[in-house]
Structure 1
């Protein structure tokens, strides 16, 4: 029996991507994995423009729902971050049907809003990792290859964040995104999870304020631990904050009785490893 190629649907829940990004990612997928094994389906919505966004909210929500509910699509890959995913939560998630629950969803940064809601409702396999837009970074092919490898082969140890090789429950988010989800209906139950956090371009004082919010919230009191990914580059303030990002994370973990477990290999860069949400038991 001849197996059909795996079809990956790409949608842009926030900002648009350029067609050159789609062309580069498609070429890389064909050259590396072969057209007979992998087909990338960029929804036309990815290239729409409505102010800041890749089309109006309704259009972006419809593209997500259409792709997630399509039985011919095996996985949903979010095109890029920016801002806009949170505007789809109350108009898209409840429309996802049984077919959507069998898919893998991959993204990071702003799309963490969708990852959170999908995981909360136990829709599919949710993972934090590289997106098509990463192809535009220097050596971005490394990140995109990692994502395609994961989408094609599943949770292989050579593309996953290394500390998730141990048994446990895991989740990963952008700090800014998670801090803004706190107190909303979209935060998943992370009791017993190791939470990995990353960010980019935030001042030390901003990281301090957001980590205070996250670690102090009732939703996070049951964490098994917290790891900090990369937050670079961090702008210089006119007055030095006096603590590194890691020291800030450790401080707020100690204040709130959350084990600080050190660093995580995630971030807004080409080295961003993949974190699959939920239970991992490699020995089984």
Structure 2
């Protein structure tokens, strides 16, 4: 028989336990009583039970029923024919004893032969039934091994798929990390450019503000100089008016006659 080793892994499962609630001895006895021809076939009994119950349990019950049948057959065995007539006794005195002993021996011999014949037939039938049961068990074992082999192959395929999925996941993670790094570098470059632009704008504003401040200061200086010039013009105009008044006064004095 081909042997298949099944490795235990995360994908393997323990075989289900047999459901013996339907394959009781009384249930098997009732099925066999309805059809005695299936006493030697556990598979046929299981079909009559609606394909329920473990095959090994059913075969165990069938063996018990066969043993009960054999014991009953042996107990009911009787000589098939009456004992043959005793030979002529050697003497008149021993005739009765000889006939009794001969009859008893023949009956015992016939009973023993009948018993041995029944035992031979039942043993032969039991052997045939057990061979059939063993063949059914071998068939079921091969089916179980085939199922286990398929499960092992499926588990191997699952492991390969899992390995490939892990490799793909690692590749995607590396790509994601690379993309994150590139995005971070781009953001940092953009932030640096914005910072540089902000610094240039601040410098321009500060330069313009300094120019405005200098212009304001110059305007103040010019305004002060203009005010000073206006003051001097007014002062000069006032003095000019005073000189004109003095000249007029002198001219008036000069025009008066002398006494």
Same fold (TM over 0.5): no
The structure with the greater share of residues assigned to strand is 1
The structure with the greater share of residues assigned to helix is 2
TM-score w.r.t. length of structure 2: 0.19
